[in-house]
Amino acid sequence: MAEVLVLAELNPAAGGPRKTTLEALTAARALGEPAAVVIGAPGTAAGIKDVLAEYGAAKVYVAESEDVDAYLVAPKAEVLAQLVTDKQPAAVVIPSSPEGKEVAGRLAIKTGSGFLTDVTEIAADGTATQVAFAGATIVHSQVTVGTPIYTLRGNSVTPEPAPAAGAEEAVPVVISEAAKQTRVLDRVVEQKSNRPELTEASIVVSGGRGVASAENFSVIEGLADSLGAAVGASRAAVDSGFYPHSFQVGQTGKTVSPQLYIAVGISGAIQHRAGMQTSKTIVAVNKDPEAPIFELADFGVVGDLNTVVPAATEQITARK
Amino acid sequence: MNIVVLVKQVPDSGSERKLDPSDNTVARATADNVINEMDEYAIEEALTVKEAQGGEVTVLTVGPDTATDAIRKALSMGADKAVHVSDPAIHGACAPQTSAIIAAALSQLDYDLVLCGAESTDGQVSVMPALLSERLGIPQLSGARKLTIEGSMAKIERQTDGGYWEVEAPLPAIVSTWDTINEPRYPSFKGIMAAKKKPVETKTLADLGIDPGTVGLATATSKVLEFAGRPPKGEGVKVADEGDGAEKLVGYLAAQKIV
């Protein structure tokens, strides 16, 4: 069976691959036999090899070098391009993070291939599903030149175990000077949180302008914590200084696709919809019965968030 | 410090956007077209750097004739001149092809710094700095929320989940900007009037030395096979809170087996 390369995305904080990697391994099976590619500092692969095998990696290509972490994007694309040349895979699947998309783009130029970003599904014939225009349009696309390269949007595919051999193969890492131009000096974490990553979370609770203040976002956080959810914010809330930009959902922010999205005090402007429209179930709380968010909501409560949300949090906590 | 800002005209994300069923490309002719919002931050950043270091700001766009509106907007904010690559053969070009066109146009310009928005609101592919870096051999500094130029080096804070990476590269480099980087200025009346007299050079693929047969829909590296509107959602349930809103909400979540 043809091999499909899957670039592992790592989660240094948790020490394992990100969930998006397991999703990519699952999606890649439609096209052939997944082979994971681990590119990172020495020692990266040891701790994650087993889980990659558990999720279907027949092989695990390991490219470890200080250089790949010291420079931005370009070294990873070089390693992958070399593997594409050597192994002639049927396709390459990469988790759709900002870095993943950039690696995909560089790989496409290097290998003379086409690439499709933010795909939500890959069919056996290579046709990918994409969501365009704020989720309003569903598109089916194909790569027509070279080795198809896909980046898979997080939370689009449910990771399913499919134990495979996970045979490790070391890949020599030779990084050109051209790929060593953009140096990463420091990686700074500003917000430490025990909550799940916004784009990976199965439940997201977001607050908007209606939350009315930064302090009052504790109402949103309380509901999120009772559900084990991530916290998001609308652009209006971020622009008003209620919550940091890295939690912004919507156009110019994050795109999320959780099982459950709870929009609190969010009117539902199209720019917000762009980031959450593909959520499986949408719940809205807003005092304005005409708010457009209700057009999207599976369940809506017209009411004051300051009474409804704390009471709901209390009841959810009591049910545990 | 000569700076080129890449600008793209896009259908307004606040209005209805469509694909053209005749060839599955973005329906630009019938759309309410505007300058890509994120590009305004790149223009602002270019003007800020120019004000500190001198030099010239050139706007570069690839797009149909209507894209002159986006160019005028950039010039009215304060950019000095513009290059507009327009050629019917470009219609339907994919991202790698577009990057080849932009790279060829950049190669005809004198630049120390290239700036662009971190994403366009139509395609949202967000990889142009990576593609141009690959083609031109200049470093990419993408996803900036802060840019600092020190001598021959450019340093950015690359926005990440929950923080940032400090990243630096030698000039010339390509930097893309998020909307966290600055607050774009509004064009003044004087700026709008002055923009009408600023030079806009139009170039065709032939001017850039690109064979029209290598770009456009027919030879694109990917294609849209078909598209459809998202199926309408079933009518949701909307309840008014009469002291029982929380209970109903939790009841719904319980019915969905979420709690």
Residue B86 touches partner A, C-beta closer than 8 Å: no
Mean pLDDT, chain A, rounded, equals 95
pLDDT band for A320, please (50, 70, 90 cuts).
confident
ipTM value: 0.95
pLDDT of residue A11: 82
pLDDT of residue A105: 98
Peptide bond into B172 cis (omega under 30): yes
**pLDDT tens-digit profile of B11-42?**
998 888 999 999 999 999 889 999 999 999 99
| Chain B residues in contact with A192 (beta carbon < 8 A) | 162
User: Using the beta-carbon criterion (under 8 Å), do A108 and B221 form an inter-chain contact?
Assistant: yes
For testing contact with chain A, the best of B152, B238, B239 (most A CBs within 10 A): B238
**pLDDT tens-digit profile of B118-163?**
999 998 999 999 999 999 999 999 999 999 999 999 999 999 988 8
**pLDDT tens-digit profile of B87-106?**
999 999 999 999 999 999 99
Instruction: Report pTM.
Output: 0.94
Q: Which of A183, A298, A148, A149 is nearest to B249 (CA)?
A: A298
Q: Is residue A1 pLDDT above 80, yes or no?
A: no
Residue ranges of the domains in chain B? Answer: 2-219
What length is written for chain A? 320
**pLDDT tens-digit profile of A146-199?**
999 999 999 999 999 999 999 999 999 999 999 999 999 999 988 777 899 898
**Range 18-57 of B in CB contact (< 8 A) with A:** 18-19, 24, 37-38
> Do residues A94 and A152 lie in contact, with contact meaning Cβ atoms separated by under 8 Å?
yes
Q: Which of A295, A263, A291 is nearest to B236 (CA)?
A: A295
pLDDT of residue B240: 96
Q: Is residue B233 pLDDT above 90, yes or no?
A: no
User: Using the beta-carbon criterion (under 8 Å), do A183 and B169 form an inter-chain contact?
Assistant: yes
pLDDT band for B188, please (50, 70, 90 cuts).
very high
pLDDT band for A135, please (50, 70, 90 cuts).
confident
From A102, A184, A314, residue closest to B127, measured CB to CB = A102
User: Using the beta-carbon criterion (under 8 Å), do A301 and B241 form an inter-chain contact?
Assistant: yes
Percent of chain A with pLDDT over 90: 89
Q: Is residue B231 pLDDT above 90, yes or no?
A: no
Interface size between A and B, measured as CB pairs under 8 A: 265
- The whole-number average pLDDT for the span A127-143 is 93
pLDDT of residue B90: 97
From A137, A144, A186, residue closest to B227, measured CB to CB = A137
Tokens of A113: 């291939």
User: Using the beta-carbon criterion (under 8 Å), do A246 and B161 form an inter-chain contact?
Assistant: yes
From A108, A137, A189, residue closest to B163, measured CB to CB = A189
CA angle A35, A40, A42 (to 5 degrees): 110
Phi, psi of B150 (to 5 degrees): -130, 105
Q: Please provide the DSSP assignment of B191-222 as one string.
A: HHHHHTTS-EEEE-HHHHT--GGGSSGGG-SE
pLDDT band for A280, please (50, 70, 90 cuts).
very high
Residue keyed to tokens 């043809």: A2
C-alpha distance from A141 to closest chain B C-alpha (Å): 4
Q: Which of A140, A105, A136, A108 is nearest to A125 (CA)?
A: A140
Mean pLDDT, chain B, rounded, equals 96
| Chain B residues in contact with A270 (beta carbon < 8 A) | 13-14
C-alpha distance from A164 to closest chain B C-alpha (Å): 32
Beta strand spans in chain A (E): 3-7, 10-11, 16-17, 33-40, 59-64, 91-95, 115-122, 128-132, 137-143, 149-152, 167-170, 183-189, 203-207, 230-233, 260-264, 281-286, 299-302
- The whole-number average pLDDT for the span B156-182 is 95
**Measured between alpha carbons, how far is B7 from A81 in angstroms, rounded to an integer?**
30
Which letter does DSSP use for residue A59 in this model? Answer: E
- Residue B107: which residues within 8 A CB-CB, separation 6 or more? B136
Tokens of B79: 């950019």
| Chain A residues in contact with B125 (beta carbon < 8 A) | 101, 105, 117
Least-confidence region, from A11-15, A71-75, A93-97, B26-30: A11-15
From B137, B179, B223, residue closest to A178, measured CB to CB = B137
pLDDT of residue A114: 98
pLDDT of residue A165: 97
**Measured between alpha carbons, how far is A44 from A25 in angstroms, rounded to an integer?**
18
**SS3 of residue A243 by DSSP:** coil
CATH number for the domain whose boundaries are B2-219: 3.40.50.620
pLDDT of residue A55: 98
**Measured between alpha carbons, how far is B99 from B94 in angstroms, rounded to an integer?**
9
> Do residues A152 and A23 lie in contact, with contact meaning Cβ atoms separated by under 8 Å?
yes
Q: How many CB atoms lie within 10 A of CB A191?
A: 11
**Measured between alpha carbons, how far is A252 from A275 in angstroms, rounded to an integer?**
9
**Measured between alpha carbons, how far is A317 from A222 in angstroms, rounded to an integer?**
10
pLDDT of residue A145: 97
**pLDDT tens-digit profile of A24-77?**
999 999 999 999 999 999 999 998 999 999 999 999 999 999 999 999 999 999
pLDDT of residue A270: 87
Q: Is residue A136 pLDDT above 90, yes or no?
A: no
